[in-house]
A and B are shown apart, each in its own frame.
Chain A
């Protein structure tokens, strides 16, 4: 329990008013000072005893898209033998706050309060600790009780429905002519590499083993198996609003691809590298990653990370900003171009469109606009 700054000032003003009224003979000042004293006394009476209740917090759902609906239920229980006066419960969600006005509770009673959480900010937010605040009507006194338990709310980036693009491995011609459409699938040797435990023994390349003196294995891949890679530019140079749109766009594309059972990979310039098998688990994995992704703190990172240089196949979508793509980045994109069937660069409207040979460039105002263009041009 403590008096707020306003309460202390009111108390001081009351004393000054009463003293002035008594010295100068102003009954109005005395009465006003007395009324202020009464208000301060009421504040002490109200806020003198903090709320003694038990509160159970329930979040549902605890994973939600940005601007989606997430509810919070506070079950307030009075375990004591005394009636509890009303108070205000303030729950912290990241930088936002949810305020619930709790009505007076009789002994042993329980009352649920349902409210909606603010989901305007992407990210993994800690909900709580819950603060119970009891103040008087004029805000002169205040008592606070903090209840320690916290929960986590995942606010995913929004995903828009988008058609998944199909792109497999570029066909190899070293082993001779290949048919572009093989109805029962195909097998294409990617490389011959040292054996690692777990590799198929059947695929040992004996000639190479004999020549090199160590076990070598053939690395096969289905050339028609669709692959999809998203490179999200999370460098410092990208503006914050543009980055949010980029995350939304990346989420839409990668979720659509994962749902379509494509092999996906999410890479960022800052070092995030997530490659999973397809399916619903993968969708959550990508969304969680995109939920917490943030712009890097260091400036001057290259757009194309090293991880991408050793990977290939399928479609590569680069989501970036025209202002952030430098000449070096363009050169790096040209460098990785041969490893992919298709490379698409999606950038925002500000700045001149970067020209990269062999790379399709789409410019869009925001994620929705980008999806619309994607549907028109690519899918």
Chain B
């Protein structure tokens, strides 16, 4: 009994422990969790066999579990199979740091012991507490329940998986609760399963996760923004920045993405996480994607590493931080040459609907600082006063590339604050990709298109295979527009203006086609098809009154129907109950039935009336039936012989005769009798 309960409580603790699997991967998580649970059971069994150890059980289970954990996950710190001071240090770090590292990382995390240690340690604590509380099974389940809720606070399982997991946990707790009687197990199990499955139909909102506002603390001080270096790099075009070898054509490499603009400087949100094992594509990306890979060698330079819009993993000696929204990689403590293999995903397949796509409504357009009046007018003119769609975004790009020139030569304009942009847009109309991109972003934001500014390098055109070298001259700043279902689509007003032409990636081809299909500059943009707008309610107060009236009337109607039906139903139930009576009570039940039938049909029945009294005040064929019933009632009550089944049947036969006689009355009388409260 005790052993069984201990096993159930340990199972109930292991299930929530394994719920962290989406974070760490089941293969990495299962061995330490199981090792800890087995160690707990070993301590329990030992204390059963050696009763002297019983008071020391928790003090025995915790070190035993920690030892098993060290052997399974920290075997590199052991010497000759025995834990060392390093093992203890790592365990302490597991208590203090590992959960923070996990929260700061993208999920699933890298399968490293330093990150997952806190889960088996929590399982150990919960299992030990559960075993100690075994005397009260309800309390013994609480530690595991707390662990389960904690696992949900980390990462909530989705609806379809939640039911089997809940059932598994429920089975473990039920095993803990199961009484020796084990009565009606099937009913409990059946109702539990039905109730659990029924929750699949319950809509549950987005899950809260403790990770939501947890980001890695990236060490300060910051370096110079790559955006301000664009002109400087263009002035020294031959210097090598990095080199790469990819499995296909690459359009551009990004370093940073800047989405905040206060009118003077462009800054980025500090939302870096440690890069985990693999990153899933963003939720808003509905288009099919293909995996890509490249090997990149960066000799030195800033902390930002060349990356792509949707990176999935980085392998190599580096452990970079990643901004999942922007796709930028950063290596805070960087010294010298860095080599890594980057994997990312690119939109592919059928993107033909891109030109007609709407801009994303999930992303706010962004800040623009204090907009000069003439710039707002320019924005309207550039977008031909159209609604914010992706086509409008392309028109704006076309406008910039048509009306403005890329600056070359020694005197390159710098800066991307409002004064410089004002000068670029309205006066010189000449700038580097920095001004092009910054101008595009602010104009797009003014007309309501969500846009952001990315800085990186254009991929060199020449080699598709083999190693490509990216130099200072390839530096590029470009705007990106949030498109519904696709994510951030990079544009290149400066590239098209400079006539460099994009590399042949799938997205770039579709964009080129869309650009070619744009209407001429003097034509109005065709409005995209608009979904039919739901008719607007006429006034809130009217609807409220109508709703209340509808609810009230339907409720009253339901009450009325229930009230009307209640009387006949109650009578049917009453008759059925009387029919089930046997012996003397059966005969008396038949008399009551006959009395109530006649009373419902209007006979004057007084308290204490006998069957013969009722027969005396009745008239018609009912009287004969009542006299027969009276004989049976007298025989049953006064003869002393009681009543057998035959007498009961005969009494009810008399009642049936009365009923048959009453059925010959008019329809109205019968209806009145059926609903009479007697």
Pair B199/A137 contact, Cβ less than 8 Å: no
Assuming A30-B162, A81-B580, A136-B188, is B208 touching A37 (CB within 8 A)? no
Tell me how far the C-beta of A331 lies from the nearest C-beta in chain B, rounded to whole angstroms. 49
Assuming A9-B138, A34-B195, A43-B188, is B183 touching A138 (CB within 8 A)? no
Pair A85/B199 contact, Cβ less than 8 Å: no
Tell me how far the C-beta of A270 lies from the nearest C-beta in chain B, rounded to whole angstroms. 40
4 smallest beta-carbon distances between A and B, as pairs: A38-B195, A31-B166, A25-B207, A27-B162
Pair A30/B199 contact, Cβ less than 8 Å: yes
Pair B148/A28 contact, Cβ less than 8 Å: yes
Provide the bound-state CA to CA distance between A337 and B158, in Å: 92
Interface residues of A in 131-177 (CB under 8 A from B): 134-140
Tell me how far the C-beta of B382 lies from the nearest C-beta in chain A, rounded to whole angstroms. 42
Pair B183/A87 contact, Cβ less than 8 Å: yes
A-B contact count (CB 8 A): 142
One of B63-71, B174-182, B324-332 contacting the partner: B174-182
Known A-B contacts: A29-B152, A35-B196. Give 5 more (CB < 8 A): A28-B19, A31-B165, A34-B199, A42-B187, A85-B183
Pair B177/A24 contact, Cβ less than 8 Å: no
For the complex, is A39 an interface residue (Cβ under 8 Å from B)? yes
For the complex, is A45 an interface residue (Cβ under 8 Å from B)? yes
**Majority DSSP secondary structure for residues of B touching A:** helix
Provide the bound-state CA to CA distance between A275 and B174, in Å: 61
Assuming A22-B205, A26-B204, is B183 touching A42 (CB within 8 A)? no
Assuming A38-B191, A85-B184, is B208 touching A25 (CB within 8 A)? yes
Pair A28/B177 contact, Cβ less than 8 Å: no
Choose from A9, A29, A38 the contact partner of B149 (Cβ within 8 Å).
A29
Hey, which chain A residues are within 8 Å of B205, CB to CB?
Answer: 22, 25
Assuming A25-B205, A27-B162, A35-B167, is B191 touching A137 (CB within 8 A)? no
Pair A137/B159 contact, Cβ less than 8 Å: no
Interface residues of B in 325-373 (CB under 8 A from A): none
Assuming A38-B191, A85-B183, A136-B188, is B166 touching A25 (CB within 8 A)? no
Size of the B side of the interface (Cβ < 8 Å), in residues, is 46
For the complex, is B302 an interface residue (Cβ under 8 Å from A)? no
Hey, which chain B residues are within 8 Å of A45, CB to CB?
Answer: 184, 187, 191
Pair A28/B184 contact, Cβ less than 8 Å: no
Assuming A35-B192, A85-B183, is B170 touching A138 (CB within 8 A)? no
Choose from A24, A34, A137 the contact partner of B185 (Cβ within 8 Å).
A137
For the complex, is B316 an interface residue (Cβ under 8 Å from A)? no
Provide the bound-state CA to CA distance between A32 and B19, in Å: 14
For the complex, is A101 an interface residue (Cβ under 8 Å from B)? yes
Provide the bound-state CA to CA distance between A36 and B191, in Å: 9
Tell me how far the C-beta of A43 lies from the nearest C-beta in chain B, rounded to whole angstroms. 7
Assuming A42-B192, A137-B178, is B156 touching A26 (CB within 8 A)? yes
Pair B188/A39 contact, Cβ less than 8 Å: yes
Provide the bound-state CA to CA distance between A37 and B166, in Å: 13
Assuming A27-B156, A39-B188, is B195 touching A135 (CB within 8 A)? no
Pair B158/A46 contact, Cβ less than 8 Å: no
Choose from A24, A28, A42, A139 the contact partner of B162 (Cβ within 8 Å).
A28
Tell me how far the C-beta of A29 lies from the nearest C-beta in chain B, rounded to whole angstroms. 6
For the complex, is B194 an interface residue (Cβ under 8 Å from A)? yes
Hey, which chain A residues are within 8 Å of B166, CB to CB?
Answer: 28, 31-32, 34-35
